[in-house]
Chain A
Amino acid sequence: MLTLQCPYCGVAADETELSAGGEAHLKRFGPGSSEEEFHDYLFTRENPRGVHFERWRHSHGCGKWFHAARDTQTLEVFGTYKAQTTEPPKDIRDAITAKRPGWTWRDVA
C-alpha cells in the first residue's frame, strides 16, 4: 500500500486518500510554440522504469496538490515536496542520488 506524506498538512496519507495526477514539472507550451513543443507537452511522457517525479493531490484530506519522487521499478518513495516549484528541490535530489547513483530524468539530472 502506497503512503505519501502530504507536505502541506503533514499527514502520512494512504493511497485511498490520494489521487494521482501524472508526470510532474511539465512545461506548458501554448500559442507561439513550435508544433514539436506543443505535441510533446500534450502527449509525450517520460514513463521511466526507475526514478520518476509525479503530481499527486491530497484529495480526501487537505485537498492540496503536491509532488512526489518515486521509483516505478521498486515502488520506493524518495520524498514529497510542495507544488510551488518547477523542479525537484536539492534535498530530494540528494536523497535519490544516495540510493540511485547516476540516475537521470529528463534534464533534471
Chain B
Amino acid sequence: MKRYSAFAIAREALRNHTGWERAWRSPAPKRHYDVIIVGAGGHGLATAYYLGKNFGITNVAILEKGWLGGGNTGRNTTIIRSNYLQDPSAAIYEKARSLYETLSQDLNYNLMFSPRGVIMLAQTQHEVRGYQRTAHANALQGVATEFITPRRVKELVPIINLSGPRYPVLGGLWQERGGTARHDAVAWGYARACSDMGMDIIQKCEVTGVRTEGGKITGVETGKGPIDCQKLGVVVAGHSGVLADMAGFRLPIESVALQALVSEPIKPCMDVVVMANTVHGYMSQSDKGEMVIGGGTDGSNNYTQRGSFHHIEETVRALIETFPMVSRLKMLRQWGGIVDITGDRSPILSKTPVEGMFINCGWGTGGFKAIPGSGWGMAELMAKGHSPLTQAFGLERFREGRFIDESVAAGVAH
C-alpha cells in the first residue's frame, strides 16, 4: 500500500494523478477463512482491523450485501461523545473516543476527526438533575465533562435562544473533546487498512444462510456460494434479527427507521455540536456549511430505510424554538437508516447459542461514535473468548436482569 502524504499529493499533481492505486482490492471469495465478518459497516470493518492488528488474525473475509459503508455508517450524523451514565458504557465509548484522537494517523487516512465539543442541553429540571448526575459519574469514570450554565451555553452557541417559552435552556452537559468525524472516511480508512493486511472485502455478497454442525459454526451461504469459516462475527445492525433467524435464535431487538436531514450550505454559524434531547433534535454544521439535523426514531418496525415525514416535521419544529434562524433555512436532503434498538438502549457484544458465532449489534441510534472501541473489544472477544470491554454487554444480561440502562440518561441516544 502506498502511503498518503503531502509529498504523495505533490508527486501525483506532477503526473496528472495517474499513480493513485485503489484503496482496497475486490477479490473473489476463497472457499475457506479463519474468520468471516458479516457486514462491512464501521463496526464490522473495525472488528476485522483489530483482529489483524492486535491478534495477527488476517485470514479474514468481510462480506457485505451492498457496498461498504452503505448502511448506517454512511447515514449517520457523526456525533462522537462518551458522556454516558453507566460504567461499562463509559469504558467502551471513551475507549472509542480516545482511539479516534489518533486514528487518522494510525490508518494513514484522514477521518476529519473534529473534537469541536458537544453540548447536551438541559431544558427541563429533570434534565438538569440527570446531567448533573452524569457529570459526577463521568468524573469518577475519568471522562472529562462538566455541567455548564446557560450563560456559558450562549457564549459557545451565539445563535441559540435561551428563553424559549416551552423549553428554556437551563444549562448543559459539555464534553469539550467530543465532536464529529467524516463517516464514510471511517469505513474507507478501516477497509483500506484491512485490505492491506491481506483481508478480503467482498461487496455485493449477501449472506443468505448460516451453516452449523452439532451446534458449532461451519460457514455461511452467500449469493456467491458457500464459504467456510472457524469463527463468524455478525455485525449487521438493523438486520441482526434476520441473521439470528438464519442461525435459529431470536434477539431482544427491534429494527426501526431513524432519519436525518441537511440544510443548504450557509456561512459558519455554530462551531460545536448541540443536542436537545427533550425535544428530540440535534444539530451541527458540516465543513461544507450545511446544518446537519437529526431527530427521533419512528415507533414501528421497518426495514425500508425510509421514515415517516411527521418525525422530520417534529424535529424541525422543536429546533426552531431553540434556534430561531432554522426557520429561514431551506432543507436539501433527508434520508433514513434502519437502527437496531435494545430494551436498555445499550449494545450487544456477545457469544451466541451457536458455538463460534459472535454478534455485535444493538448500537441503535448511537453507534458511530463507538466504532473503534467496539471493534477493539469485539476482536478481543472473538480472538480470546472474552474481553473486559465487552463483558457487560453479553446477551445473558437480559435474562440475569443486569441491564445497562442508558435510556433514562439520554432520551435521544446519539
Q: Name A's B-contacting residues (CB within 8 A).
A: 1-2, 15-16, 19-20, 22-23, 35, 39-40, 42-49, 52, 54, 70, 72-75
Instruction: Judge whether B302 and A45 touch: CB under 8 Å.
Output: no
Q: Does B7 interact with chain A (Cβ within 8 Å)?
A: no
Instruction: Assess whether B225 is interfacial by the CB under 8 Å rule.
Output: no
Least distance between A67 CB and chain B CB atoms (Å): 13
Interface of B is mostly: mixed
A43 and B252 within 8 A (CB): yes
Q: Answer whether A44 and B252 are a contact pair too, CB < 8 Å, given A15-B310, A72-B301.
A: yes
Which residues does B use to contact A, with CB under 8 Å? Answer: 239, 241-242, 245, 250-255, 298-304, 306, 308-310, 343, 398-399
A sample of 13 inter-chain contacts (CB < 8 A) reads: A19-B299, A23-B254, A43-B343, A45-B250, A45-B252, A46-B250, A47-B250, A47-B254, A47-B301, A49-B242, A54-B300, A72-B304, A73-B303
B251 engages A44 (CB within 8 Å): yes
- In the bound complex, how far is the Cα of B312 from the Cα of A15, in angstroms? 13
Q: How far is the CA of A84 from the CA of B398 in the complex (A)?
A: 30
Nearest-CB residue, chain B, relative to A21? B299
- Complexed CA–CA distance, A2 and B304 (Å): 13
Q: How far is the CA of A45 from the CA of B249 in the complex (A)?
A: 10
Neighbouring A residues of B301 by C-beta, 8 Å: 47-48, 52, 54, 72
Closest-by-CB residue of A relative to B250 is A44
How many Å lie between the Cα of A54 and that of B298 in the bound state? 14
* A20 engages B252 (CB within 8 Å): no
Shortest Cβ distance from A16 into chain B, in angstroms?
A: 5
The smallest beta-carbon distance between A31 and chain B, in angstroms, is: 16
- Chain B residues lying within 8 Å of A22, measured Cβ to Cβ, are 254
Report Cα–Cα, A93/B252, bound state, in Å.
26
A72 touches B254 (CB 8 A): no
Give the CA-CA distance A43 to B252 in the complex, in Å: 5
- Cβ-defined partner of B304 (8 Å) among A15, A42, A75: A75
Question: Are B251 and A20 in contact, CB atoms less than 8 angstroms apart?
Answer: no
User: Are the C-beta atoms of A39 and B399 separated by less than 8 Å?
Assistant: yes
- Quick one: given A1-B308, A15-B308, are A45 and B254 in contact (CB under 8 Å)? yes
Asked whether A47 and B310 contact (CB < 8 A) given A19-B299, A72-B303, A74-B304, the answer is no
Once A1-B309, A15-B308, A15-B310 are accepted as A-B contacts, the answer to whether A47 and B300 lie under 8 Å apart by CB is no
Q: How far is the CA of A22 from the CA of B343 in the complex (A)?
A: 12
Q: Is A20 a contact partner of B300 (Cβ separation < 8 A)? A: yes
Are B299 and A75 touching (Cβ within 8 A)? no
Contacting residues, chain A, for B298 (C-beta < 8 A):
20
Expressed in whole angstroms, the Cα–Cα distance for A83 and B300 within the complex equals: 17
Most chain A CB atoms below 10 A, which of B239, B242, B299, B306? B299
Do the beta carbons of A47 and B251 come within 8 Å of each other?
yes
Q: How far is the CA of A82 from the CA of B84 in the complex (A)?
A: 42
Nearest neighbor of B239 in chain A, beta-carbon distance:
A49
Flag if A2 contacts B308 (CB, 8 Å): yes
Distance, CA A48 to CA B239, complexed state (A): 9
Task: Please name the 10 residue pairs, one residue from A and one from B, whose CB atoms are nearest each other, closest first.
Answer: A20-B299, A43-B252, A47-B241, A20-B300, A49-B303, A44-B250, A43-B398, A72-B301, A39-B399, A72-B303
Return chain A residues, CB-CB under 8 Å to B254.
22-23, 45, 47
Chain A contacts of B252 at CB under 8 A? 43-45
Q: How far is the CB of B317 from chain A (nearest CB, A)?
A: 12
**CB distance A75 to B302 under 8 Å?**
yes
Determine whether the beta carbon of B302 is less than 8 Å from that of A16.
no
Query: Which residues of A are found within 8 Å of B398, using beta-carbon distances?
Result: 39, 42-43
Known: A39-B398, A44-B251. 8 other contacts (CB 8 A): A1-B309, A20-B298, A22-B254, A46-B241, A47-B301, A48-B241, A49-B241, A72-B255
Q: Which residue of A lies closest to B306 (CB)?
A: A75
Docked CA distance A20–B239 (Å): 21
What chain B residues lie within 8 Å of A52 (beta carbons)?
301
A97 to nearest B CB, angstroms? 21
A20 proximity list for chain B (CB < 8 A): 298-300
Residues in chain B near residue A70, CB distance under 8 A: 300
